[in-house]
């Protein structure tokens, strides 16, 4: 369990060309900026950039790397602030913002950063147990 203001140990991931290609193939988001360097540069970007799916996946990873794979992410609200490019190292950390003992849940704030600064800020609600979910 966690307490309000607890912080994760954080983590990091280097975004290689191979990782970008695998993510593109898996996510099937074939926007030119995700694979075509010339098109990306024509848009004013220095390199191929990752999709918002990538940002969301890293937000989820920040939670499960810290709290384990049995955590249920009931809600995720993420805002992309800046791109993540091939060649970046993305770092993440999470902080517990609130806890609801009755619902066996917690609200976390997750930040993804690169060497250029903040690239994504997110809020997630996690459940420690699926028993608290009711289907209507």
Task: Please determine, for residue 45, whether its predicted confidence score (pLDDT) is greater than 80.
Answer: yes
Give me the pLDDT at residue 20, please: 83
Which pTM value belongs to this model? 0.84
Q: Quick one: average pLDDT of 62-78?
A: 93
Task: Provide CATH code, domain 6-127.
Answer: 3.10.129.10
Q: Quick one: average pLDDT of 43-72?
A: 90
Put the strands of the sheet holding 117-127 in their side by side order: 11-14, 89-100, 105-114, 117-127, 72-80
Alpha-carbon distance of 58 to 11, in angstroms, equals 10
Six-digit token string for 9? 């140990």
Domain limits, the chain? 6-127
Alpha-carbon distance of 51 to 64, in angstroms, equals 20
Six-digit token string for 37? 């360097």
- Residue 17 has φ and ψ, to the nearest 5°, of -60, -40
Could you report the per-residue pLDDT of 107-130, keeping only the tens digit for each? 999 999 999 999 999 999 999 876
Reported confidence tier of residue 48, pLDDT bands at 50, 70, 90 = confident
Alpha-carbon distance of 43 to 38, in angstroms, equals 9
Q: Quick one: average pLDDT of 88-97?
A: 97
Alpha-carbon distance of 21 to 37, in angstroms, equals 12
Give me the pLDDT at residue 118, please: 98
- DSSP helix, strand, coil percent of the chain (3-state; round to 5): 30, 35, 35
Q: Quick one: average pLDDT of 80-96?
A: 96
């Amino acid at each position: 369990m966690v307490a309000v203001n607890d912080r994760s140990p954080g983590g990091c991931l280097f975004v290689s060309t191979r990782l970008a290609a695998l993510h593109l193939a898996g996510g099937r988001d074939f926007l030119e900026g995700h694979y075509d360097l010339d098109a990306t540069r024509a848009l004013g970007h220095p390199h191929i950039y990752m999709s918002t799916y990538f940002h969301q996946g890293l937000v989820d990873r920040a939670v499960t790397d810290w709290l384990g794979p049995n955590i249920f992410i009931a809600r995720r609200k993420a805002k992309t602030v800046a791109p993540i490019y091939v060649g970046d190292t993305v770092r993440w950390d999470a902080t517990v913002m609130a806890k609801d003992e009755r619902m066996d849940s917690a609200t976390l704030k997750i930040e993804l950063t690169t060497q250029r600064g903040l690239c994504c800020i997110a809020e997630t609600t996690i459940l420690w147990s699926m028993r608290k979910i009711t289907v209507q």
